[in-house]
Structures are given as C-alpha cells and as structure tokens.
Structure 1
C-alpha cells in the first residue's frame, strides 16, 4: 500500500521578522523629540503637526478600544465559567461525537454499548476523510472512551484540531449491537484541557456544547 507523503514546510528563515508596533508612550516620545530637535529656521508646518496629533489621537482610541475588548472578553469568560459550574452535581445526557486533539493528546470522545461486543471506531478529519480505524474485541457493555492516540492508520501523528468519530458494534455472530455516542451521568467537576472547557463525568470529558439534557439528582 502507498504511504502518504508529508512535505517539510518551506524554510522561512529568509522572511524578515515583523517590526514591533509603537505604543502610545513611544509615539508621544518621538513626537516630543521631533519638536525639540526641529530646525528653528525650518519649523514643522502646522498642517504636518496637526496630522501627527490626529494620528496620535487615533492611536489612543485604538488602545482604548483594545482595553475595552479585553475587559469584555474577561467578563464573557467569567460568565461562561459560572454557567458551566452550574452543571456540577447535576445529571446530564450528551450526544458528543467529537474529539479535540491538542499537543498530540486527545480529549473527549465517549460511547455507550448496550451489550458486550466487537467494536469498530472510525475517526474522521474535518473534511470527512477517515484517518484511523480502531478495533476492539469483546468490549463489555457500558460507557467507554475512544482513547485516540493522535495517529493515523500509517502511524503518523495527525495535526492538532477537531475530529469526529463513529462507532459500530457486532456480537460474535455478526449481528449489530446498539451503540450510541456520548453518555449520561453526574457532573463532578469542570476542567480545562488545552484552553477548552470540559465537564467531568466519571473519568470522561464531555464537551458542554453536546449536552442534550440536564436534570437534578434525586435525593433520598
């Protein structure tokens, strides 16, 4: 069988490194220095000076906008975490069929078998191409992790990103067994992996966006 070819990226050493952008303090310092050292016999024209002041004003406004955006982002992240913490202590059902690969480590990806059987797990990239097939024989009924190792069928590591998966299961006579992606259970914690939040259900990581049902636990 033909093995895929992985081309080495072009050498980027010839590219010039980007120049550092001026901050508000550096810009103002340069403007003051320019005024201080200008030729008295040929002073800066008022129109040129006005243009530079307008440029500084625009720069100041951009910094203010950026500061406000950072404040809004922080507030949004705080609100999102607060919403996720509301899941703790509640029963959820999810239909997650995605895996996140970060630094070569896979997060998420669970399925539930109705009975013991032989399992075939297919993993797909964002274009829908199957990159990996995992076989598991005589897997017991219950909830399981996909446990993707971040490699394709040829043993090459695949790029970080999002992947989807499907699961098929058969008994020893070849008849199909019911299997569903995602799982249900009690949320015990919220954890961040690779900067992405997940709900902890047992030892499974659940993408909050895949939650389809939330209910309070029954108290005795």
Structure 2
C-alpha cells in the first residue's frame, strides 16, 4: 500500500481537506514517531464522514502498515549503531598491526634493501618473468625467474645490474605455457603497516610508501626483520 497516495491512509479520510504536501509531511512524521500516527488516527476517527465511514478493516491495514514502518526505522537505527560499534572494535583489533610487516599483493616501497617476493604460478606454466615497474608505470626490469612458489629475492637493480633509486615499485609475475601467455599477476611482498583506516564497514591498511589495501587481502603478518 502506497502511504503517500492512498486517500484513505495518507489523507486520513479526505474530509479534512489536507493537501498532498501535508500528506507527505504526515508520512514523514509517522516514520520517525509512531505516537504521532496514533494521534492522527484518532483525529481521523473523529472527523470521518458519518455517511461514508472508513471500514474497520482499513484501520487494521493502516495500523499494521505504519507499525511495520516504525519497526523498520528502529531496526535500521539499531543496525547503524551496531555497525559503528563493530567498526570501532575492528580498528582496535587492527591497531596492533601498525609497525608490523603485512604480506599483500600491492606496490612496495623500496629503500635500498632487497625485497622478498612471493607468487603462485599456474600449474600449466613452464616459463616465468619477473616484471618490475616504477611509480610512473615504466618497466625498469624484466628478468626470467624459476617457475616455483618459492620466495624470490629482488636485489633492487635494473636489467643492467645498476641500482635503482628509492621509491615505490610494483612486481608482477608474467607466466607462459607452451609459448602462450597464461597470466600476469601482482606478486605478494611484505610492507610495513603505517596506518589503519575505516570507510563504512570496511577496514583498510595504509602501507609504507602510501599503498592502501583492504585488510581482508592480507595473507600474512610478521614482526619487522
């Protein structure tokens, strides 16, 4: 039942002569204060046309409808409060992660020290390359690596063996099988957690270097080595 257009509900008997705008305002009041609805229902009973009274079944429908609206409003408020409490609890739980190193598939800040990389090449792969790009998206290194799930240590040098400058780099594993490209996947690596953030019901970690990742994407956590 449409509470804004049905004359017997939203207009409360028509005989009151209220405008459509007033009806909409009344509906808004009812959703926020069920007691207001009861007062208005009483007024409807007192002012209805005695020659064309509202059926008792219509009153029952009105009461049930507005009661349902009231309950829904209260439920939404309770869920909103609960979500806020869970967000605070989640942030408190993740606060201990700050300063630790999280393993995640995301760009990593390179400070001159070797970086440990982890990947899971497809079973059909027989050839793999480590592709390294800088913060501008430029490829700074592309080297052949073993087709294995064993960790790979990146020394921080380009294809000529020259040291690369400090900065944020992205690492991808490019795999092939029988000469056909299979996939290009971001490799996992460890990065220090600098900050915890919330956005709605989601929790995010800000890593050293500025990368922002979903807390659910973290696959491992360790103390700094």
For normalisation by structure 1, the TM-score amounts to 0.49
Structure holding more helix per residue: 2
**Radius of gyration: which is bigger?**
2
For normalisation by structure 2, the TM-score amounts to 0.48
